[in-house]
């Protein structure tokens, strides 16, 4: 699977480790930054990731910031993006099964790295259930 990944300064440590983890699992990874702990603005990294997902340049995305909320809000303003914020494996499974999330967002300041790996594993191995959930997703307005 080809995975796009980005973070702001709060998530850069986990992002760097996750890239190594994903490569070790045989995934192709596209890093949209940042690569420094110097303070940056999360939209500068969320927008390129969202565009890559929209264009089909990557199969799925992963984003990290302090709370995850800034990334999720920014990503969900893009047409065709369904970014889900997950802080445990149960939520990660649900955003895939019920919401067909194509971008996983995690709150780096509120989870351990070990939990982040578990969340990513769940997110990447869980399939969308379809059925009644497809009907619900169809009712979500598409961003302009």
Residues with catalytic roles: 65, 98
Residue 2 CB contacts under 8 Å (≥ 6 apart), including other chains: 27, 28, 29, 30, 57, 58, 59
Task: Give the other-Cβ count within 10 Å of 122's Cβ.
Answer: 20
Nearest to 89 by CA among 47, 124, 56, 64: 124
| H runs (alpha helix) in the chain | 12-24, 43-54, 69-75, 89-97, 113-125, 132-138
């Amino acid at each position: 699977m080809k995975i796009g990944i980005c973070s702001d300064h709060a998530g850069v440590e986990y992002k760097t480790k996750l890239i190594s983890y994903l490569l070790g699992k045989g995934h192709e990874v596209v890093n949209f930054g940042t690569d420094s702990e110097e303070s940056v603005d999360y939209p500068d990294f969320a927008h390129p990731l969202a565009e890559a997902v929209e264009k089909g340049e990557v199969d799925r995305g992963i984003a990290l910031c302090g709370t995850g909320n800034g990334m999720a809000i920014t990503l969900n303003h893009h047409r065709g993006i369904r970014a889900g914020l997950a802080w445990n494996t149960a939520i990660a499974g649900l955003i895939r099964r019920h919401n067909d999330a194509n971008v996983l967002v995690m709150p780096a300041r509120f989870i351990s790295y070990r939990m982040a790996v578990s969340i990513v594993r769940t997110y990447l191995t869980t399939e969308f259930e379809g059925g009644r959930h497809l009907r619900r997703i169809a009712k979500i307005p598409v961003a302009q």
